[in-house]
Structure 1
Amino acid sequence: MRNIDPFSVRLFLAILEEGSIAKAAARECIVASAVSKRIGELEALFRVPLLERSVKGVTPTPAGEALQHHARMLLQTMERMYGEMSEYVEGVRGRVKVQASVSSLSSRLPGDIQDFVGVHHGIKIELEESSTPVIFRAVVEGNADVGIAPEISSLEGLQTFPYRTLTLAVVMPIGHPLAAHKQIAYVDTLEYEQVELSRASAMASLLDHAALNFNQPKHTHIRVISYETICRMVACGMGIGVVPLFFAHSHGQTFGLKFIPLSDAWARPMICIAVREGAQLTPAAKAFVEHMKQRGVEERFQHSLFDVMNLHRV
């Protein structure tokens, strides 16, 4: 089989994005006849029609739809290849695209990344904060090398490793009727007005699923985009919410809030390190994953040691 021309692949994707050969040609600064010729060469190469042409525009055939997925992956891989090779010329040994959730970034992840960069001076970390479902989808689709987020969303197509445990807590004003509890079951919060993250978040889905197990309705009239905003709304008397327990250190005394851990089994999800299943990680990405895995092991060892010490004190 002849080699595939990356420019022809790019033209094929441009046609699908623009909906016509003429618009794709204008976007890529090439005459329309040359675009048609290159698409014809692709169709001859694969021996199947890739596009259906009509007065309404151009649409992919079933074979074209299949090629569309592979074409995007091919161009992304080539872009990364050129990017990483140029960095070697500049003396940089690698680059890792990381997407992380707000819950992981609000805990110890920034410090762990700082420690990694301090040791691996030749590796660049490109970090982007996003929601858990978006993070996992980006890893599966190859738009991120590593995702770090709680295991509260679909993990299909991913290989995961434990990083740190996330403890969820109910946040409420200090004078709230539930504030005297040391732990609380989620069902006991449902009679009160709730402040939650947006419906697109994995946390909102988790709480909706938990509430379905009880016959008591959930009252949620305020949805926001961050845990910090939940704390601020609760401080203003707009309801109670569920947030990671570590927010107690930064928001408890400042906003006059009480954070009570949830006793439900699902309220201690694992923050995981996610990579695409079957992916061949670059040496830089592999070093980053191993560093994060080791930090997770160290934390679990410290917690186990703490539990043993407390057991001997009893």
Structure 2
Amino acid sequence: MYRMAIPIAMKPVTPIPSLSRDLDPISLRLFVAALEEGSLARAAARENIVPSAVSKRMSELEETLGVLLLERGVKGVQATVAGAALAIHARLLLQGMDRMRQEMAGFATGIRGHIHLAASVAALSGELPAYIQAFRRAHPQIDLSLLEYTTQEAFRAVLEGWADIAVGSDFGHDGLQVFPWGHCELVAVVPSQHLLADYDILDYAQLLPFEQIELNRENGISGVLEKTAREAGVTRRISARVSAHETICMLVARGLGVAVVPRYLQARHSHLDIRFIPLSGPWSSTPICIAVKDLDALSPPVQTLLSHLGIPTPAA
């Protein structure tokens, strides 16, 4: 039996609206300002706009996204759970826009790109400065800003969008793409008259009975040494925390304790009454790595620097 096919009327597909077309960077900047200031009025003063306009933009932003972003109270405003999530994206977006403006302005002034490089003390103690100097000579049109951080701060700077590349000890780099890049050689440093001064090589465990001197900020080397002490069931005794490895060497010379420092300091401090003794086993060096957030999303100048450092890039 023949059956006639009945055409079915197809309902036209309504395109899904793109939120990116509705989000206004000015509103996002005001939103971030409101959170940082804790008040719509203070945000308005900071951004040189009337408070009523800030309030209106916040309401429009919440309506566009369909969620409550701010909890308003007599003491000011604070982020809701959704607002805290938006703040992360908003800051990254605004940082990206600011850097885009910088790069475009650079084309007008002859500088064709900006790179923000975050490096730890350990990284700067090796060959990195020579690589940077050679890169600047080869690419004078690229503006390279070098910032010294602790290892953890350098990685965090890349995660949060403040830096393009981090170079530091190979510790704590979750969420980043990481590439091995050399080592930082480590040595023990003790006073010349110390009980350990006549040793030709030391294991880090031999330093644990003595008071130690270290940097006063987080760094990859101290983190590993602390972990080793815990595994040995020993509580490290820290006699001083200072701001630089050079100061550590001076205090060791004055008998305040022993320490672990990068080997390059030996040539600089041969005049002090101290001994630099190689470390055995895993304490002889700390690996250095290069970290980026997304290799495929890096700007051409940043990829050029990575290639210069020997890291393969998509553009290579």
Once the two structures are TM-superposed, the CA of residue 179 in structure 1 deviates from its matched residue by 2.2
**Scaled by the length of structure 2, what TM-score is found?**
0.88
Once the two structures are TM-superposed, the CA of residue 203 in structure 1 deviates from its matched residue by 2.5
What CA RMSD, in Å, does the superposition of the two structures yield over aligned residues? 1.6
| CA spacing shift, 1:45–1:278, aligned 2, 3 Å | farther
Q: Output the CA distance in 1 between the equivalents of 2:80 and 2:210.
A: 53
Partner of 2:67: 48
Q: 1:126 is paired with a residue of what secondary structure?
A: strand
More helix by share: 1
Once the two structures are TM-superposed, the CA of residue 266 in structure 1 deviates from its matched residue by 4.4
Partner of 1:300: none
Partner of 1:65: 84
- Is the 2:125–2:262 contact (alpha carbons within 8 Å) kept by the matching residues of 1? no
Moved over 4 A (4+): none
Q: Output the CA distance in 2 between the equivalents of 1:282 and 1:6.
A: 21
Partner of 1:232: 250
Q: Output the CA distance in 1 between the equivalents of 2:166 and 2:96.
A: 18
| CA spacing shift, 1:143–1:62, aligned 2, 3 Å | same
Partner of 1:14: 33
Once the two structures are TM-superposed, the CA of residue 125 in structure 1 deviates from its matched residue by 0.8
Q: 1:269 is paired with a residue of what secondary structure?
A: strand
> Unpaired runs of 5+ in structure 2?
1-17, 312-316
Corresponding position: 1:291 with 2:308: yes
Of 164, 168, 172, the residue aligned with 1:145 is: 164
Corresponding position: 1:203 with 2:217: no
Once the two structures are TM-superposed, the CA of residue 213 in structure 1 deviates from its matched residue by 2.1
Partner of 1:299: none
Partner of 2:176: 158
Q: 1:184 is paired with a residue of what secondary structure?
A: coil
Which whole-Å deviations, capped at 9, do the CAs of 1:132-167 have from their partners, x for residues lacking one? 11111111111100111111x311011111222112
Which amino acid counterpart does residue 170 of structure 1 have in structure 2?
A
Q: Which of these two proteins has the greater Rg computed from alpha carbons?
A: 2
- Is the 1:161–1:293 contact (alpha carbons within 8 Å) kept by the matching residues of 2? no
Once the two structures are TM-superposed, the CA of residue 118 in structure 1 deviates from its matched residue by 0.9
> Unpaired runs of 5+ in structure 1?
295-314
Q: Output the CA distance in 1 between the equivalents of 2:110 and 2:249.
A: 45
Corresponding position: 1:28 with 2:47: yes
Q: Output the CA distance in 2 between the equivalents of 1:102 and 1:52.
A: 42
Partner of 2:192: 174
Of 100, 103, 122, the residue aligned with 2:122 is: 103
Partner of 2:147: 128
Which whole-Å deviations, capped at 9, do the CAs of 1:40-94 have from their partners, x for residues lacking one? 2211211222112122221222221111111101100000000000001111111
- Is the 2:221–2:286 contact (alpha carbons within 8 Å) kept by the matching residues of 1? no
Which amino acid counterpart does residue 198 of structure 1 have in structure 2?
N
Of 92, 97, 106, the residue aligned with 1:87 is: 106
282-291 vs 99-108, which deviates more? 99-108
210-219 vs 225-234, which deviates more? 210-219
Partner of 1:270: 287
Q: 1:254 is paired with a residue of what secondary structure?
A: coil
Of 206, 218, 227, the residue aligned with 1:188 is: 206
- Is the 1:199–1:205 contact (alpha carbons within 8 Å) kept by the matching residues of 2? no
Q: Output the CA distance in 1 between the equivalents of 2:104 and 2:56.
A: 32
Partner of 1:281: 298
171-180 vs 58-67, which deviates more? 171-180
Once the two structures are TM-superposed, the CA of residue 199 in structure 1 deviates from its matched residue by 5.3
| CA spacing shift, 1:199–1:21, aligned 2, 3 Å | closer
